Structure 1
Amino acid sequence: MKQLTDFTGQDSSVYESGTFKTKQNGIWKRGSAYLRIALYQATVAGISKQIHGPRNPILRKYYQQKCQEGKPTKLAIVATSNKPSRMIFGILSSSIPFQDNQQ
């Protein structure tokens, strides 16, 4: 799973030097930029509010959970954009069709 996160370029960067540790960490810009952008845009579309509820209730619930933990909006979106890649990996590795049991 770590290799998939590395490939998508959404693993967090940690900058440390001696006793210095930064408080603002971003994501590494290595890996596939196209895949990273596609996952980000799909996540933003999935968590957006619609008339009849969010387009993807699983992503919306995870995004709201991250926001309630005190994460800034963009950080919560990046954390949520890791969720579809984990879901796709689970579906492909188990060969079991996806079923949304939350509704």
Structure 2
Amino acid sequence: MNPVVGLDIAKGESQVQMFLDKKIPYKNSVKIKHTVEGLKELHSYLLDLERQTGLKPPVVLESTGHYHTPVVQFLNSEGYLSCAF
């Protein structure tokens, strides 16, 4: 398996979709807020995918001005590889 998480970043919130492997989504997409509570929720989703696959998933996101900054800082603090495009 090659798990990956995609984030569609917007002002104050992100849409999250997790994948077990290429073209194999894991659960439904969810929306999280860019708050402490929302980032904790994101972390629980990441840990769930990690338990399912045995691998820490990289996170791919769009670079949207400064809106992605708190998310990237959080991911880095938790040891996740993030790629912003």
- Structure richer in helix, relative to its length: 1
Please give the TM-score of this superposition, normalised by the length of structure 2: 0.29
- Structure richer in strand, relative to its length: 2
Which structure's CA Rg is the greater one? 1
Higher relative contact order structure (alpha carbons within 8 Å, sequence separation ≥ 6): 2
